[in-house]
Amino acid sequence: RNTLNELFPNHNTKLFLHNINDEKKMELLFKEIQPDYVFHVAAYKHVTVIENNIYEAINVNILGTKIIADLSSKYNVKKFLFVSTDKAVNPTNVMGASKRISELYIQHLNLSSNTDFMITRFGNVLGSSGSVIPRFIELINQNKNIPVTHKEITRYFMSINEAAILVLKAITIGKSGQILLFDMGEPVKIVDLAQKMIDLFAKKKISIDIIGLGPGEKLCEELLCKSEEVIPSEENKIMIFKNKIDSPNFIDKYNELIQYYHNLSYDELKIKFKEIVPEYDTKKNL
């Protein structure tokens, strides 16, 4: 907030602290603010933590998103941007599948809403909370070995500035139902990244420990779902995707999930995820 006030001293910025799952409070906020644009970022994003906490993934990543999206439609928000993840593409984990389910719900709302709903995906943001680089630096400063899950694991990376630019450009050029992806360059091998950081910053001999993939973790992230096609973009750094098909049974399966999820077991919920997202594959590491 202080940064915004410094950059835009003539604009009035307000800070509100709310739980997105508190529907009554969120509706009061929408009534008061009457926003024109909504950037929905709130979610649980840590893959290995969410893999063992599927109820919270549904409660926040799916139901919380539904609450904010429905209110945006109800109060005639002009544009709604849902910040998703590359892990939603052919997901192998609960976090990615939960975000993909919300992507599908966002696109479903476009069929009946006056609000333009759109989605953006990107990979790991350098320097953000949970990013590998601050963690690697912390371990190097402690003269500890760096753990890497697999010698072939790769990830897409972008800076905080690049992520912010994508979000702002996406809501500017995006249209209803579109998924926008920033050019993240070539994927980076995590083991190479770790070695470069050791070479640059380590004062003592430090090794890399290969510890094995975590639950639901992929070797490589993907960019395009099987049901999506690429369409032209006026920005050469932004790719636009659009679903080729819309499952006629999606909303029934979705409503059944959010209505009864508290009564289902972990394994039953993963089956429900698979029914909604057929490409969800818990046994596949790419």
Which residues form the catalytic set?
87
Task: Tell me the C-alpha distance between 167 and 212, whole Å.
Answer: 33
Exposed/middle/buried for 94, CB within 10 Å: 0-12, 13-18, 19+? buried
Beta bridge partners of 158: 125
Task: Tell me the C-alpha distance between 210 and 193, whole Å.
Answer: 14
Mutual angle of helices 94-109 and 250-260, in 10-degree steps: 120
Identify whether the C-beta of residue 177 lies closer than 8 Å to the C-beta of residue 243: yes
Question: Which of 276, 223, 273 is CA-nearest to residue 249?
Answer: 276
What 8-state DSSP symbol labels residue 43?
-
Mutual angle of helices 266-276 and 250-260, in 10-degree steps: 160
User: What's the distance, CA 242 to chain centroid?
Assistant: 17
Identify whether the C-beta of residue 217 lies closer than 8 Å to the C-beta of residue 149: yes
Give the CA-trace dihedral at 148, 149, 151, 155, to 10 degrees: -90
Q: Is 97 helix (H, G, I), strand (E, B) or coil?
A: helix
Task: Tell me the C-alpha distance between 136 and 156, whole Å.
Answer: 17
Q: Is 254 helix (H, G, I), strand (E, B) or coil?
A: helix
